[in-house]
Amino acid sequence: MKILFAGTPDIAVPTLSALVQSNHEVVAVLTRTPARRGRGRTLYPSDVAVWAAENDIPLIEADSLRDENVAQQIVDTGAQIGVVVAYGAIIPLNVLESLEHGWINLHFSALPRWRGAAPVQRAIEAGDTVTAVDVFQLEEGLDTGPIYSSRAVEIDPDINSGDLLDELAVLGAQDVVDVVTTIEAGVANARPQSDEGAVYAHRITRDDLEIDFTRPAAEVHNQVRACAPQPGAYTLLPDGKRIKILRTRLTDTDATAPGTLNFEKNAVFVDAGDKALELQVVAPAGKSHMKAADWARGARLESGDKLGEAKGE
């Protein structure tokens, strides 16, 4: 099968690599245009673009597929099917219909739960214990197409979204290859997707990042996990500076006052709404990630100092 692969971040690379190593042929790669990063706002190609260039695969860079020239480039590749993993843009109906076998997508949730842009982050935030890697047929609706394959995956209670995404990206790569093989053989079987239980996974925004320590410890723990390693949930120090909280541990210790710090030998704790949390990894403003205990030794704070603004007092 001749494949056009569409993807942008590093989590798309395992599937692209698996397809290249399979009996199928990746005739071209579609990815988003270089993005500006860092203080110098330097343009960097996507991770998928870098991998494609290193492996001599023709590349199409586009942020929108509504451009007729881009749509024609896709047709001109001679691809029979499109495979999408985190491309990052809507594929319009005329482009979906331009390839013989349409387009399939690797999605990181148990559809219809968590349709949308941030399924892993929202699943962790909600405290889900199980997710999935699904391969489904793209159609006009957002993540609504029939499902070819679904593999359930347990969510470790302490894993963050970055690590879980990496795990799911590897697990799903071979599933995509298998689905393409069955489509080529004419024996693929996709089950219709129900709308019952559908939940939309909105992108993580700035409004999701500030920690409210009046909430239960489990909710704060899940927020930290969902936002790590990037962009990182944060709180305010007594001097008003931000500090990112990147890893926490639930404890059985009852809390007394939300946001209150407690320093013990080689450990830092903060009270949430019901229980205390151990802070394990933090990133003070302008500094890289570090163990919370190392940060505490130079932080000039005392037990009883508070993080954030205690709400509802």
CATH number at residue 72: 3.40.50.170
Whether residue 151 is found in the same domain as residue 28: yes
Among 181, 201, 221, the domain boundary falls at 201
Phi and psi at 207, nearest 5°, equal: -65, -15
pTM: 0.94
Taking residues 188-194, report their average pLDDT: 96
Calpha distance 206→226 (Å, rounded): 13
Residue 312 lies in a domain: no
Residue 224 sits in which domain range?
206-297
Calpha distance 276→271 (Å, rounded): 4
AA identity, residue 187: V
Residues 108-117: pLDDT tens digits?
999 999 999 9
- Average per-residue pLDDT in the chain? 95
Contact 224, 211 (CB under 8 A): yes
Cis peptide before 216 (omega within 30 of 0): no
Residue 267 scores a pLDDT above 60:
yes
Number of structural domains found in the chain: 2
Residues 236-263: pLDDT tens digits?
999 999 999 999 999 999 999 999 999 9
Residue 278 lies in a domain: yes
pLDDT at 265: 86
Residues 160-184: pLDDT tens digits?
999 999 999 999 999 999 999 999 9
Calpha distance 106→165 (Å, rounded): 12
Kind and range of the H or E run holding 222: helix 217-227
Residue 185 lies in a domain: yes
Residues 136-151: pLDDT tens digits?
999 999 999 999 999 9
Residue 302 lies in a domain: no
Pairing of strands 25-31, 2-7: parallel
Higher pLDDT, 310 or 290: 290
Tokens 């541990």, located at residue = 249
Q: How confident is the model at residue 309 (pLDDT cuts 50, 70, 90)?
A: low
Whether residue 126 is found in the same domain as residue 227: no
Give the DSSP letter string of 68-102: HHHHHHHHHTT-SEEEEES--S---HHHHTTSTT-
Whether residue 172 is found in the same domain as residue 237: no
